[in-house]
């Protein structure tokens, strides 16, 4: 009798763990889906999308940013992006954390030329992983905080 009760408890525990894992996975999938949609909207010029923070990984570095000056400038630059990537530079991964939810990781190429800017790979629009889909030139004047931040990536 005791073994049957223990089996039922074991089954209930297993079902509960499986359900909890399914909920966590669904939440992460939804956060990524929302993040990709927000990145698409941002590079399409949507002024209602805002970046809460961003983290860049590459060149043996991890650099995070919550500086509003840098994020506002980056948002404005991304809103002016064109579907015409021309330059390749130092490659890193950028993870965008959007206000109101949503996370998206995309390949970013920081230009090494005298022209300041980035090329961005919007994951859902790239023909292959990490292939740039957008040209994002930085408009003058570039705030010192932005220059300092991107200098740390090269």
**What is the residue-level pLDDT of the chain in tens, covering all 154 positions?**
566 666 676 666 556 565 445 444 444 455 788 999 999 999 999 999 999 999 988 878 888 999 999 999 999 999 988 887 766 666 788 899 999 999 998 888 777 556 677 778 887 777 676 778 888 888 888 888 888 887 777 6
pTM of the entire predicted model? 0.75
Across the chain, the runs of DSSP E, i.e. the strands, are 51-58, 61-65, 90-98, 103-110, 117-121, 134-137
Residue 22 CA: distances (Å) to CA of 15, 19, 25, 35 = 10, 5, 5, 20
Chain centroid offset of residue 102 CA: 9
Q: What pLDDT was estimated at residue 50?
A: 97
Q: What pLDDT was estimated at residue 73?
A: 93
Angle between helices 144-151 and 68-79 in degrees, nearest 10: 90
Structure tokens at 120: 């961005």
Residue 89 contacts residue 109 (beta carbons within 8 Å): yes
The residues near 95 (Cβ < 8 Å, ≥ 6 apart) are: 54, 55, 56, 57, 103, 104, 105
């Amino acid at each position: 009798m005791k073994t049957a009760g223990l089996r039922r408890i074991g089954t209930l525990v297993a079902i509960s763990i499986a359900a909890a894992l399914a909920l966590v996975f669904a939440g992460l999938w939804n956060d990524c889906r929302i993040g990709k949609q927000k990145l698409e909207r941002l590079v399409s010029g949507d002024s209602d999308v805002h970046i809460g923070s961003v983290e860049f990984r590459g060149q043996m570095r991890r650099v995070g940013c919550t500086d509003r000056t840098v994020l506002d400038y980056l948002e404005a630059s991304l809103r002016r992006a064109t579907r015409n990537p021309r330059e390749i530079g130092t490659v890193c991964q950028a993870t965008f954390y959007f206000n109101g939810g949503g996370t998206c990781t995309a390949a970013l190429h920081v230009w090494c030329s005298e022209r300041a800017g980035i090329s961005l790979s919007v994951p859902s629009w790239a023909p292959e992983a990490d292939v740039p889909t957008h040209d994002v030139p930085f408009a003058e004047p570039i705030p010192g905080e932005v220059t300092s931040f991107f200098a740390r990536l090269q």
